[in-house]
Amino acid sequence: MASCDLAVIGAGPAGMAAATLAAEHGLDVVVYDENPAPGGQIYRAIETVSLARNSDLAFLGESYRAGAALARAFRASPARFMPGTTVWLVQKDRAIGILRDGKAAMVQANRIIIATGALERPVPVPGWTLPGVMTVGAAQGLLKSAAMAPSSPVVLAGKGPLLFQLAAQYVAAGVAIAAILETGARPIAALPHVWPAWRSGTIGKGLALLRAIRQGGVNIIRNVVALEAEGRGRLEAVAYRTVRGTGRIATPLLLLHEGVIANAQLTKAIPLAHEWNERQQCWQPMLDADGNSDVEGIAVAGDAGGIGGAEAAAHSGRLVALAALKALGKIGRIAHEALAETERTAWQRHLAARPFLDALYPPPDASAQLADGTLVCRCEEVTAGQIREAVSLGCAGPNQAKSFTRAGMGPCQGRMCGLTVAALIARETGQSMSEVGHYRIRPPIKPLTVGELAALE
């Protein structure tokens, strides 16, 4: 079996920063990412965009450009990068299962840093499986990696920094936006948290985005309380309701976004110990101040450990790498203290903006207004009504709901429906989300074919 000192899973800001620092200090570092190039979600395709398209780099904005230096340092470091490689298994003994070029293999790591980032929070609304309904992150990925934009005026619906960032990027690129349907921002609730967010630069950036969007003449409809994607076989219109009345916008493309959640698929499959984050309404691994999990030698960095954003992710990556260097004897305790202190301070300064953002853009209640007919599990096509019915028949938790209804049994392994199913059960039974729990997630976390597995001896 191949081996390494340190395996880093994910080459976003957290993974790149961690790997660069650890490799520069002499560790044998291998980095896996299922994408073809480093960058992660925020800096997706940063290398190709910086090389070929200065004009695109301009409209993608300053926070995107910041990724170029991180990627350059990562490429210049001795860390071995394995793009196009999916990690489908991590064992507590730090054996790792990878899939590359259609072949599965096992690798033994001395230490592991999991930096698998975030997912967009799934947003079940009526009609969300129609072709033409996608996520804001999906469209932003197309903009960065393929310089593609909507062919006709697009509707953006939901809330959160990423939604406004994409809108500003579209305005700068001259792409038409039919409307932004904002689902309940809470500026007054966010007021008490203004100062740390201001200090971290978050508010300044946000205001600049909003200014750019307004200058672009985009129609922003606020306080949207219900949404529906309409069409036969394809999206034709978006119907919405606000506190004032209803409306309908014809469009072939609707982009949804309700913030991001930690990508806990891998950490739950190991399993590491997790806790429910009430403020961000998602599960996240329980970590110490250095990012160490409850399993010896396995640490988590960046958004995979709890949402902090790109800048926080890079500092968290370095902090976790420093702990690995100390544990493997590459730096002494005193050097570690000094270096870690700097990173921790910077990390916390960026994290301090989160309470403001979480209060301003509170996660929607995934169970309250879901109509019985709305699909919650896209893979197995299970509706909210079917989950409610299962509960009324005595189903007490997500794993039982799975066997009652098949929700969570499809190829996405519950990534899209897990939180919604749990929230429905919590509401119907009067339990809290941490009491209800989550699907038991078993490796492989991505389906493997028999042919791919055949390569394992």
Partner 1 sequence: MSLFRRLHEDGPGDAMTVTITVDGVALQARAGESVAAAVLASSDPTSRAAPVGGAPRAPYCMMGVCFDCLMEIDGETNRQSCMVIVREGMMVKRMARPKAVTP
Ligand X SMILES: Cc1cc2nc3c(=O)[nH]c(=O)nc-3n(C[C@H](O)[C@H](O)[C@H](O)COP(=O)(O)OP(=O)(O)OC[C@H]3O[C@@H](n4cnc5c(N)ncnc54)[C@H](O)[C@@H]3O)c2cc1C
- CB 33 → partner 1: shortest distance, Å? 11
Q: Give the binding range for ligand X (CB under 6 A) out of 37-45, 272-280, 378-386, 398-406.
A: 37-45
Binding partner of residue 149 among ligand X, partner 1, none, CB cut-off 5 to 8 Å per kind: partner 1
Q: Which residues contact 244 (CB under 8 A, 6 or more apart)?
A: 223
Assess whether the previous peptide bond of 271 is cis (omega < 30° from 0).
yes
- Annotate 251-287 with three-state secondary structure: CCCEEEEECEEECCHHHHHCCCCEEEECCCCEEEECC
- CB 254 → ligand X: shortest distance, Å? 16
Q: Give the binding range for ligand X (CB under 6 A) out of 30-38, 322-330, 360-368, 415-423.
A: 30-38
Q: Please identify, using beta-carbon distances, which residue of 30 and 426 lies nearer to ligand X.
A: 30
Binding partner of residue 397 among ligand X, partner 1, none, CB cut-off 5 to 8 Å per kind: none
Binding partner of residue 313 among ligand X, partner 1, none, CB cut-off 5 to 8 Å per kind: ligand X
Is residue 303 part of the contact set for partner 1 (CB under 8 A)? Answer: no
Burial of 396 from C-beta contacts in 10 A (0-12 / 13-18 / 19+): middle
**One residue of 141, 201, 355, 385 binding partner 1 per CB under 8 A:** 141
**One residue of 127, 132, 137, 364 binding ligand X per CB under 6 A:** 137
Query: Could you give the CA distance from residue 258 to residue 163 in angstroms, rounded to a whole number?
Result: 8
**What Cα–Cα distance (Å) separates residue 430 from each residue in 367, 374, 436, 447?**
12, 21, 10, 35
Is residue 5 part of the contact set for partner 1 (CB under 8 A)? Answer: no
Site string for partner 1, 201-240 (x = CB under 8 A): --------------------------------xx------
Is residue 414 part of the contact set for partner 1 (CB under 8 A)? Answer: no
Query: Could you give the CA distance from residue 139 to residue 231 in angstroms, rounded to a whole number?
Result: 20
Please give the DSSP secondary-structure letter assigned to residue 309: -
> Measured between alpha carbons, how far apart are the two ends of the chain, in Å?
10
- CB 376 → partner 1: shortest distance, Å? 13
Q: Please identify, using beta-carbon distances, which residue of 53 and 92 lies nearer to partner 1.
A: 53
For 78, phi then psi, to 5°, come to: -75, 5
Query: Could you give the CA distance from residue 13 to residue 34 in angstroms, rounded to a whole number?
Result: 15
Is residue 86 part of the contact set for ligand X (CB under 6 A)? Answer: yes
Q: Please identify, using beta-carbon distances, which residue of 137 and 297 lies nearer to partner 1.
A: 137
267, two tokens: 């950490």
Residues 327-386 close enough to bind partner 1 by CB under 8 A: 378-381
Residues in the chain: 457
Tell me, by CB under 8 A, how many residues bind partner 1: 47
**One residue of 116, 267, 281, 367 binding ligand X per CB under 6 A:** 116
344, two tokens: 């921790």
Is residue 310 part of the contact set for ligand X (CB under 6 A)? Answer: yes
Is residue 182 part of the contact set for partner 1 (CB under 8 A)? Answer: no
Site string for partner 1, 36-65 (x = CB under 8 A): x----x------x---xx--x---------
Binding partner of residue 32 among partner 1, ligand X, none, CB cut-off 5 to 8 Å per kind: ligand X
- Annotate 196-216 with three-state secondary structure: HHHHCCHHHHHHHHHHHHHHC
Query: Could you give the CA distance from residue 212 to residue 342 in angstroms, rounded to a whole number?
Result: 34
Beta bridge pairs of residue 262:
118
- CB 123 → ligand X: shortest distance, Å? 13
On the CB side of 230, how many CA atoms lie within 13 Å of its CA?
11
Query: Could you give the CA distance from residue 185 to residue 181 in angstroms, rounded to a whole number?
Result: 11
Interface ranges with partner 1 (CB under 8 A): 34-36, 41, 48, 52-53, 56, 119-120, 129, 131-135, 137-139, 141-142, 145-152, 173, 175, 233-234, 252-253, 378-381, 410-412, 415-416, 446-447, 449
